[in-house]
Amino acid sequence: MTDKSEAAPVTLKVKLKGGAGEVDVVPSRIVDEEVYTFIFQAGLDALINKIGMSKIAAGLTKLEGEEKTKRSAEVVEQALKTIQAMYDGDLKGAKATSKRTGAVQTEAMRLAKALVKQTLKDNGYKISAFDAKELTAFAKDVLKDNPDLYNTAEANLKARAELPVKGLNVGKMLGERTADETLKAKPKVPPKPKAKAKDAVLSAAQAGKVAPRQKPQGQTAH
């Protein structure tokens, strides 16, 4: 077992029940082997019996015979998949992907696509022979197998933000073409309000009616 005293100090946050708050735990300060094993065992029990088990383990204790045997085998199979994911470093929920910003995701995907295109070129393939959907699928596989690309993406964004960039001025870039309206995007026009029922077009029957003739003023009936 790795000496925990040599591990980098990491602080874990544990959320308390009922929204009472959270507390900090420093794993490296747990020096008693039995306590550490107890905690690790409790974590394994919780994870292995949770990940992927919501459907297949539901109502298992009420089953009998072949049906229970079959369902139990499915539960064991899922547990073994979770354990293998732990060994492979690909445990669902372990990676803080939800905390990554859209900018990091976009940059990581750009890096992955660049690697995909370069790999295809190096092996004699034409990039134009593959559509955007295929290239994106290839890039997603690369990201899945190379999570360190996210770290590179974060570093790129940080360096880009700190880099003083000159020349980012529309007038300087376009010169005389700055006033060319054909280069500008069309402004969005708000949709026209829908006509209310009372303002709706008259029906054909109503439109065909002729207004009754009015009697001249002052004329009396005989």
219, with CB counted inside 10 A (0-12, 13-18, 19+), is exposed
Tokens of 8: 């980098």
Residue that finishes a domain, picked among 123, 138, 162: 162
The whole domain housing 107 covers: 97-162
Cα(first)–Cα(last) distance of the chain, in Å?
121
Query: Does 114 share its domain with 145?
Result: yes
Asked if residue 9 belongs to a domain, the reply is no
Query: Does 55 share its domain with 110?
Result: no
Query: Does 131 share its domain with 145?
Result: yes
Q: Which tops the pLDDT comparison, 187 or 108? A: 108
Write the pLDDT tens digit of every residue in 64-73: 999 999 999 9
Q: Which tops the pLDDT comparison, 66 or 212? A: 66
Asked if residue 156 belongs to a domain, the reply is yes
Tokens of 103: 């900018």
Q: How many domains does the chain have?
A: 2
Mean pLDDT of 18-22: 83
Asked if residue 191 belongs to a domain, the reply is no
Q: Does the pLDDT value for residue 6 go beyond 70?
A: no
Query: Does 101 share its domain with 156?
Result: yes
Residue that finishes a domain, picked among 94, 120, 145: 94
Asked if residue 59 belongs to a domain, the reply is yes
Write the pLDDT tens digit of every residue in 137-170: 999 989 888 888 888 998 898 888 887 767 678 8
Residues 6+ apart with CB under 8 A from 202: none
